[in-house]
Structure 1
């Protein structure tokens, strides 16, 4: 399959897929790494990567900030998943049910993501607590309270099957990884949306109750 035919950074044979020992394997033969959808970087000369059943996205970074995408489907024998569905209704995203306190807290923490910052980072717990205290001056907001709200929500979504929200899943050092993964889940599921930033312009009595 030809990818980036006019991109001089993409090798003529950048990678291969082969079937061996009951699994499909991806190997990199190109000069640049292949980024796999689970954030793994596969370099040339490295061990081949086994692909799980289902869809895997492969990204190749090309010339002049171009990025090429190849979607690979490894079937388990059920052909229904690969059938075209032009008349099928679009399935809406699964939005998570948040308490008003959780919704406001995560909107504050994730405001840079919702504002389309090019390289967003979550607010610190201290920054979020200070902003929440300004928004709700009649309540006591501390970094510890923000952390409790975030930890409780991470636990609930992890129990519901969202990956990457537990320390043992991401390894050390954890840093901001758990919070970033939580924010991405909420943003990509449209549980929190840019319109929620309007809350940050409201006075305390106009905000949703805790």
Structure 2
């Protein structure tokens, strides 16, 4: 599809995951990334972002090799000062956790980073969405937004620092998330007792306990809670269960901050 002129830009695939941060942008700006790149849309552009399997017919391609994904599976549009997801395909779209948007239904998107998944029988296909946060700007301020340098390295570095894992954090998180990294079906985080037991055997001189492991993970989760929705207890309806750790692990996997190769740290 043609890119309309004005306040809409194409994002190259090389920009990477939206989970790791954004260039400075006007509050309310929509970013969408799929298999081969994505789009940036200003909140006043009057433009709908269409996504689906058939790349020539959509703005953002997702699930290009899966015929169960609809050619045009859905779109994101601006409604009453909110970005809203519309599913027009047959397969459900999953928010982080169990929430599903079925075909023919809609859902408002939070002002945050939101990984969405088109749920196909064999696999789930990722569509990354992020809406820029910030205080509202008046008309007199809008010209200042356009002067921001998208290559502002200081802003990017500050954003990336939140996602950087030190060796201890990586060790604990890899242990917690190892079922995900081993690509087991329907993975769940290990319990704190299991994490402490494995770390105790791996590092016998470091006095690991379930409380110490939990403190390490909680610190990472709180640090990223301003970047990712679903990492705070008040954002999760009870019973919370494993939701907080599951959401954290999912965000780290999507942002490529945890990789299967990290399992090597569990080999001593």
Kindly indicate whether residue 100 of structure 2 is the aligned counterpart of residue 41 of structure 1. yes
Distance in 1 separating the partners of 2:127 and 2:214: 38
Kindly indicate whether residue 179 of structure 2 is the aligned counterpart of residue 179 of structure 1. no
Kindly indicate whether residue 256 of structure 2 is the aligned counterpart of residue 190 of structure 1. yes
Higher relative contact order (CA 8 A, sep 6+): 2
Specify the structure having the higher radius of gyration (Cα). 1
- Is the contact made by 1:167 and 1:178 (CA closer than 8 Å) also made in structure 2? yes
1:166 to 215, 232, 250: 232
Kindly indicate whether residue 216 of structure 2 is the aligned counterpart of residue 149 of structure 1. yes
1:22-66 alpha-carbon deviations (Å, 9 max, x no partner): 767667788x674254664345787x544679999886667x658
- 1:132 is matched with 199
Q: What is the CA distance between 1:122 and its match in structure 2?
A: 1.0
User: 4+ runs of 1 displaced by more than 3 Å?
Assistant: 14-30, 36-40, 42-46, 48-62, 64-74
Q: What is the CA distance between 1:114 and its match in structure 2?
A: 1.1
How many residue pairs get matched? 187
Q: What is the CA distance between 1:146 and its match in structure 2?
A: 0.9
Kindly indicate whether residue 174 of structure 2 is the aligned counterpart of residue 116 of structure 1. no
Q: Taking structure 2 as the reference length, what is the TM-score of the superposition?
A: 0.50
**Secondary structure at the residue paired with 2:93?**
strand
Q: Taking structure 1 as the reference length, what is the TM-score of the superposition?
A: 0.62
Q: Gapped runs of 5+ residues in structure 2?
A: 1-49, 54-66, 132-145, 147-155
Q: What is the CA distance between 1:189 and its match in structure 2?
A: 1.6
What pairs with 1:28-107 in structure 2 (closer than 5 Å)?
A: 34-35=92-93, 37=95, 40-43=99-102, 49-50=107-108, 65=122, 94=160, 96-107=163-174
CA change 1:161–1:133 in 2 (3 A) is same
Q: What is the CA distance between 1:128 and its match in structure 2?
A: 0.6
| RMSD, matched Cα | 4.5
- Is the contact made by 1:33 and 1:42 (CA closer than 8 Å) also made in structure 2? no
- Is the contact made by 1:107 and 1:197 (CA closer than 8 Å) also made in structure 2? yes
Q: What is the CA distance between 1:156 and its match in structure 2?
A: 1.4
